[in-house]
Chain A
């Protein structure tokens, strides 16, 4: 018995930091990953895909957003898709699932809206035990019923739930939608497919978070996301066989505390980012927190290397902070030994050294003056 475990598709998610093009590409990729999941299932010979909640990002997606993933799944008629509500798309009276139920679902897609064992695969005597979130946040363990849920003898009991394993994360989040750490053991589950964590996370041999198949944040935790799990069950009591498969296209990377003080630092940063996906930088999203102090020349180098060239190379270069301009009296000589421009530059330099918001502004003005001067020199030269 083989199936694919995935979760947290979060269809309809938007990314504030991204420009329109990047956003479009990211959103398109979240849909495209469904196709890759289907293909993976076929490739692995798995007849079922279990989606452990949070198919949708929002409680009220637009009609198009609502139907997009369903239509993708419909195309894989040979694959059975099992969905449960997550905290983002809880089964509210007028929620997404009610809407979908009203408009009708493809035969190969099953939305589990009531707890209780459901026969998944008669051939393997496999039963699925879904936990159903009726609200966004619930303080009781919805998987508790699985302990008592009756299935035929020697059935493969497969739990499907969305929530936080109690005592594992230790986060405030775990107070909501809790799942007992030892639910798989207590309920005699062959496998407990969990959703909510966006990075792959294995709690025990039978309890696993698959993570999101397409990464959607810089700080995913766990395995980092962009994966799905191929699960093979050899028997009700046998340990499941786990295979992690990369399904994501984009690589998200956060670089904290990048300090730039020299041309070498700038080159190092450039190299570091380009090495994330050496053959496919266009699928890299980087968030770098930059600081430091650069000379006039290095600042120009930073602008051309990082802000212009590298920004074009990656899918998204998100920078917080900026290196400061470190100009001295020596730099003033660029403007000649006298004259109005030098006088203005000296004035700005003095202001920038006084610090504060005004100093920052003067520093920026000075930086621009250097740039203009450089441009004019370039033209004259």
Chain B
């Protein structure tokens, strides 16, 4: 199928008629900017091929231009060498016209013929969306895979089945499967396979029915329990209300009460006898107790007396020991006092010796001070002498500088004179010596400087006069003379004969300065305190030193005087101050210290002994005091017991007590006998407590019967009410009905489940079979598409699902379509469409491929490959490429198309 002409009018942006110029076999490229109407062109092509002109659906209305009007499209194409023309107008004055070679169709006939030609089938509202949807690829559709509807799939299948032996019924399988699923999804959900619809309802109802049945059975059980309990309660009530039984009970109770009264009288008698016996027994016991108490006190009194005597004896011994301890304590105190006095004396002696050592040290210090002063004074004298010597030397630094300057000036003047002088060089033969004279004297060998006219006399020859031709000769001579006089004056002022003398004197002065400095340093060193080297400070320090020495001397004198007054009497003999040397003083000090230590130790020991004695004395004293206190306590106790005994005796004598004891013993015997007699009389009687318990029990029984009757009546009323309510409900009937419902629902559920399971199995089996079969069909499609794929994705293999969608691409590893990049997905989607077109072409069905702004995500390299593939495919069927990227798609080649306004659509009639 090759489009040869396309004209449109009143179509969206094209209100006026336009024509797509340049259409022909192979690759056709319309490169136009955005908004030029490329997509409208595609829409028009889709509409004319796939939408019934009579359609009033919204998509058709959307075809109208903005100002309104009737969309009108005319397309010419050749098919199997036959010229064909298709023209449609939509919405207003709608018509369809189809010319196939010599045949001409109008209206519905034309639509049917077109559908048959293109293999379209009725889809929703007039639009026949078959495989053609996949071949006319709009903007933005190119990177999603074609979503084929059933017709599209069937078209492909019919193409594919052609090449597959024994493979028929794919469509039939789909149809059966769709029926199976329709039925299955009435019972279970498509996604999760959970029961739904009537099945779910039945399951829920069954659960409800079971619950209801259980509830009813529980109520039935409760009713039965009520009935049983009611029966029991009624029987109990009849028994309880039996009048004979009641009368008998009351008679028994009366008899028991009479018996109880009788028993109570007997009981009282016995109790009285027992009370009398108890009284007598008590009296007797108290007499016996009194007798025992008296005996006990007597014995206590005796024991206490014995103990007091023993303690008196012990106390005497203790008193004696205390006196001895006291004596020892006093002795030790005396000893301690003596030791302390000795220690005091030793300390005094030590102090005196120490003081003398101090005096002696002070004296030595004074002597050292005097020596220091003496040395300082000597240094001071030497300094003054050095200073006097320095003052006598007048050639100082300034003067010597002036001398030196005058010498230099004189030397300079002489040198200037010399420089201007005439040089006479004489070389004489050895035999000529003495024969040549210069200015009268023997002429020196070598060079001679002549500042003035000179006469040379050669023996035997004559005289030569040499007059130097010196410029400014006289000035130079004058300058030399002035310099000499200057020097002389300076030397005179310095009192020197010559410059050498001046230098000598200056050297002497420098040495004198050094000596002054040395003397001063010695003076400073001799002073113990002065560090500041200012002269005044130094002299002040000297004066201070002198003053201090005087003060120290006076202080020592005072100290010596005081020491002699204080200590001399104590330090008699060999300890005399005058005779004492340092060494002896130290020895004395050592000795005195030892003596003091001995005395201190002796005093400590004496104090320790005193403390020990004191402790012993105190302990003895304590013991004695305790013994005295214990003795007093014993004596008090003994006196107390004695007083108690005396009081007892005064109240009742021992004899009277003994006679009373005998009387009570007899009375007790009699009372015991009486009690025994009473007890023997009652042995056969029932115990009162038993009778009373029995009465209480009977009374309680009667009372219980009364409450029980009331309770039973209440219970019966309650149960009856409940039973009446329950029986009115007809529980048995309801249970039977609920059981029936539950059983029926169970059966129903089982039926649904069987149905569901069978359908699910059928669904599964059919799906599997269809998949297997489709996989077989897919092989040719994959084969068709593989070359193009291999060009764009070298080494890649395809994987297609049964809906003819590409589900994966295997390059090195399997990749899911959805996870590929946009560019790759777009290329694959275009390739898949190309594959469809290839397949249709191979089946000799009409096929063209239109791509609107496709491959916009592709890089240049892939684009080149895609161009190759498209160009190759275009050799087999027509391809229209609509693009806004003119420069990129220029490389694609093909026929350039253009949109040209035309006066009106050329109608074929």
A residues with CB within 8 A of B: 12-16, 18-19, 23, 57-66, 92-94, 99, 335-344, 347-348, 361-362, 364-369, 372-373, 375-376
- Bound Cα distance from A14 to B743, whole angstroms: 12
Cβ-defined contact, B169 with A335, below 8 A: yes
| 3 shortest interchain CB distances as A-B pairs | A339-B169, A62-B730, A58-B732
Q: Given A339-B169, A339-B170, A376-B176, check contact A12 B730 (CB 8 Å).
A: yes
- Asked if B557 lies at the interface with its beta carbon under 8 angstroms from chain A, I say no
Residue of B whose beta carbon sits closest to that of A59: B732
Cβ-defined contact, B765 with A347, below 8 A: yes
Residue of A whose beta carbon sits closest to that of B770: A340
Residue of A whose beta carbon sits closest to that of B172: A341
- Bound Cα distance from A336 to B726, whole angstroms: 66
Residues of A with C-beta under 8 A to B772: 340, 343
Cβ-defined contact, A65 with B733, below 8 A: yes
Can you spell out 27 A-B residue pairs with CB atoms less than 8 angstroms apart?
Answer: A12-B730, A12-B736, A16-B744, A60-B223, A60-B726, A60-B730, A62-B733, A65-B730, A65-B733, A93-B227, A93-B231, A94-B727, A338-B169, A339-B168, A339-B170, A339-B173, A339-B773, A340-B169, A340-B172, A341-B176, A348-B762, A361-B757, A362-B761, A365-B761, A368-B180, A368-B759, A369-B766
Cβ-defined contact, B769 with A343, below 8 A: yes
Cβ-defined contact, B173 with A344, below 8 A: yes
The contact of A340 among B743, B754, B761, B773, by CB within 8 Å, is B773
Cβ-defined contact, A340 with B730, below 8 A: no
The contact of A60 among B170, B172, B727, B740, by CB within 8 Å, is B727
Interface residues of chain A: helix, strand, loop or mixed (majority): helix
- B646 CB, nearest partner CB in chain A, Å: 97
Cβ-defined contact, B736 with A375, below 8 A: no
Cβ-defined contact, A61 with B733, below 8 A: yes
Q: Given A344-B173, A344-B768, A361-B758, check contact A15 B740 (CB 8 Å).
A: yes
The contact of A58 among B227, B231, B733, by CB within 8 Å, is B733
Residues of B with C-beta under 8 A to A343: 769, 772-773
- Bound Cα distance from A376 to B182, whole angstroms: 14
B167-194 at interface with A (beta carbon < 8 Å): 167-170, 172-173, 175-176, 179-180
- Asked if B230 lies at the interface with its beta carbon under 8 angstroms from chain A, I say yes
Residue of B whose beta carbon sits closest to that of A62: B730
- Bound Cα distance from A369 to B173, whole angstroms: 11
Residue of B whose beta carbon sits closest to that of A18: B740
Interface residues of chain B: helix, strand, loop or mixed (majority): helix
The contact of A364 among B744, B754, B768, by CB within 8 Å, is B754
- A25 CB, nearest partner CB in chain B, Å: 15
Cβ-defined contact, A341 with B766, below 8 A: yes
Residue of B whose beta carbon sits closest to that of A379: B175
Cβ-defined contact, B227 with A94, below 8 A: yes
Residues of A with C-beta under 8 A to B274: none
Cβ-defined contact, B730 with A361, below 8 A: no
Residues of A with C-beta under 8 A to B726: 60
Cβ-defined contact, B167 with A339, below 8 A: yes
The contact of B169 among A63, A341, A364, A367, by CB within 8 Å, is A341
Cβ-defined contact, A375 with B762, below 8 A: no
Residues of A with C-beta under 8 A to B173: 339-341, 344
Residues of A with C-beta under 8 A to B762: 344, 348, 365-366, 368-369
- Asked if B166 lies at the interface with its beta carbon under 8 angstroms from chain A, I say yes
Q: CB-defined interface of B232-250 with A at 8 Å, one 1/0 digit per residue? A: 0010000000000000000
Residue of B whose beta carbon sits closest to that of A66: B730
- B188 CB, nearest partner CB in chain A, Å: 15
- B803 CB, nearest partner CB in chain A, Å: 14
- Asked if B598 lies at the interface with its beta carbon under 8 angstroms from chain A, I say no
Residues of B with C-beta under 8 A to A342: 169
Cβ-defined contact, A340 with B230, below 8 A: no
- Bound Cα distance from A62 to B737, whole angstroms: 12
Residues of A with C-beta under 8 A to B729: 60, 62
Cβ-defined contact, B179 with A375, below 8 A: yes
Residues of A with C-beta under 8 A to B759: 365, 368
Residue of B whose beta carbon sits closest to that of A376: B175
Q: A93-B227, A341-B169, A369-B762 are in contact. List 7 more A-B contacts (CB 8 A).
A: A58-B731, A58-B736, A337-B166, A338-B167, A340-B169, A340-B766, A347-B765
Cβ-defined contact, A58 with B730, below 8 A: yes
Cβ-defined contact, B169 with A14, below 8 A: no
Of A23, A337, A361, most buried by chain B (CB within 10 Å of CB) is A361
- Bound Cα distance from A362 to B766, whole angstroms: 12
- Bound Cα distance from A19 to B747, whole angstroms: 12
- Asked if B468 lies at the interface with its beta carbon under 8 angstroms from chain A, I say no
- A359 CB, nearest partner CB in chain B, Å: 11
- Bound Cα distance from A57 to B726, whole angstroms: 17
B700-747 at interface with A (beta carbon < 8 Å): 720, 723-724, 726-734, 736-737, 739-740, 743-744
Residues of B with C-beta under 8 A to A344: 173, 762, 765-766, 768-770
- A331 CB, nearest partner CB in chain B, Å: 16
Residue of B whose beta carbon sits closest to that of A363: B758
Cβ-defined contact, A61 with B732, below 8 A: yes
Cβ-defined contact, A339 with B172, below 8 A: yes
Q: Given A60-B727, A63-B730, check contact A341 B757 (CB 8 Å).
A: no
- Bound Cα distance from A8 to B234, whole angstroms: 32
Residues of A with C-beta under 8 A to B179: 372, 375-376
Residues of A with C-beta under 8 A to B757: 361, 364
Residues of B with C-beta under 8 A to A338: 166-169
- Bound Cα distance from A348 to B767, whole angstroms: 13
Residues of B with C-beta under 8 A to A23: 740
- Bound Cα distance from A10 to B372, whole angstroms: 160
Q: Given A93-B234, A339-B169, check contact A365 B744 (CB 8 Å).
A: no
Residue of B whose beta carbon sits closest to that of A11: B733
Q: Given A340-B173, A343-B773, check contact A92 B227 (CB 8 Å).
A: yes
- A16 CB, nearest partner CB in chain B, Å: 5
- B216 CB, nearest partner CB in chain A, Å: 11
Cβ-defined contact, A361 with B761, below 8 A: yes
- Bound Cα distance from A372 to B230, whole angstroms: 64
Residues of A with C-beta under 8 A to B169: 335-336, 338-342
Residues of A with C-beta under 8 A to B743: 16
- Bound Cα distance from A364 to B179, whole angstroms: 16
- Bound Cα distance from A109 to B728, whole angstroms: 21
Residues of A with C-beta under 8 A to B731: 58, 60
- Bound Cα distance from A373 to B177, whole angstroms: 10
Q: Given A361-B758, A365-B758, check contact A57 B166 (CB 8 Å).
A: no
Residues of B with C-beta under 8 A to A14: 733, 736-737, 739-740
- Bound Cα distance from A31 to B772, whole angstroms: 64
Residues of B with C-beta under 8 A to A366: 762
Residues of B with C-beta under 8 A to A19: 744
Cβ-defined contact, A373 with B176, below 8 A: yes
Cβ-defined contact, B769 with A347, below 8 A: yes
Residues of A with C-beta under 8 A to B733: 12, 14, 57-58, 60-62, 65
Residues of A with C-beta under 8 A to B728: 62-63
Q: CB-defined interface of B28-65 with A at 8 Å, one 1/0 digit per residue? A: 00000000000000000000000000000000000000
Cβ-defined contact, A364 with B758, below 8 A: yes
- Bound Cα distance from A371 to B223, whole angstroms: 53
Residue of B whose beta carbon sits closest to that of A94: B723
Residue of A whose beta carbon sits closest to that of B165: A338
Residue of A whose beta carbon sits closest to that of B220: A60
Residues of B with C-beta under 8 A to A66: 730
Cβ-defined contact, A365 with B730, below 8 A: no
- B719 CB, nearest partner CB in chain A, Å: 9
Residues of B with C-beta under 8 A to A92: 227
- Bound Cα distance from A342 to B170, whole angstroms: 10
Residues of B with C-beta under 8 A to A60: 223, 726-727, 729-733
Q: Given A57-B733, A65-B730, A368-B758, check contact A336 B168 (CB 8 Å).
A: yes
Cβ-defined contact, B765 with A365, below 8 A: yes
- Bound Cα distance from A373 to B766, whole angstroms: 12
- B626 CB, nearest partner CB in chain A, Å: 102
Residue of A whose beta carbon sits closest to that of B738: A14
Cβ-defined contact, B175 with A57, below 8 A: no
Residue of A whose beta carbon sits closest to that of B762: A365
